[in-house]
Chain A
């Protein structure tokens, strides 16, 4: 069994393997597949609860991943300030691994593909991803936005 604690290096190796098979389009095709097959939970929460659903989704995943972050839900935006991404941090810390160069882009492709069609604006700043840091901002642009107080 590949332990869930050993998954991230295997994930990075998968991107490298797909890159060897068919270049970047092959990697992106997998990210699209994974977004469609794996993120149903986020899709359902965001569609039903808006940005509050995003908060609920990431409060679960980032807690289990032991991430170092500050997550904020405000009147018009949801934000994750990732101070130390556990996934990228593990890849950078492992001397025996050469991470897939565009590893962090999977977060951009996977989540954007779920949230933009629902009417959210998705902005991920990966400019400091070489230090395992990033900034995600999501805004609710749906015509009929409904927060918890409306329901």
Chain B
């Protein structure tokens, strides 16, 4: 059971000047947390939109748990299986109350009326929001930006997806909000949800993802474990991409004769490695 891209190409119409996706093949295992990195126009978003069948391949196949996204009959099942978090998901809020907005997804995928209350409350709790009667009855437009994003996420979680495709879920949030949402993503991944996330921040990807997909000009350049991708900064640099801050320190220290041992890519790992570093039996640098 996994997400399989088999020789997927996508073009915008027959006269499009370029291919948005070019012969992309990869397998994303269920339960994993994959980060997609690449420049604007590299095909990241197009790739993501293929996962829940918003776009279907011009040629090739996308299989989600064995379901072909090109297959019209399977569309509803795939949409239920894959939650899609668009950029600025709070911009899709529309209903009069928070409750109605969160219930929109389940209602359209066949949930029963009497189950709705428990579904809505459960999905809010998963995002660490207390579903008070006051909140549920308020208008989503009266909430703060960070709250709105959580409500929008709850609306997607309410469909109980097994896979979340997220297009820059942290964009436009303040540092605190970014940390909170990032933590929530990690929590959801720990609960067993497969996450595929586009991000421009290598540090944030490094913190949560276990795999990385590198895209450039519609092609999948590399797909591998985080530590492997980030341990080859020259390759990324050629594509105009960066490595996490922690890895930069790792390489810079190495250049100056301080070998921290195993490769690190998060600040926590870096701190631990520096703390554990011994020079000739003496603690610290």
Does A associate with B in a complex? no
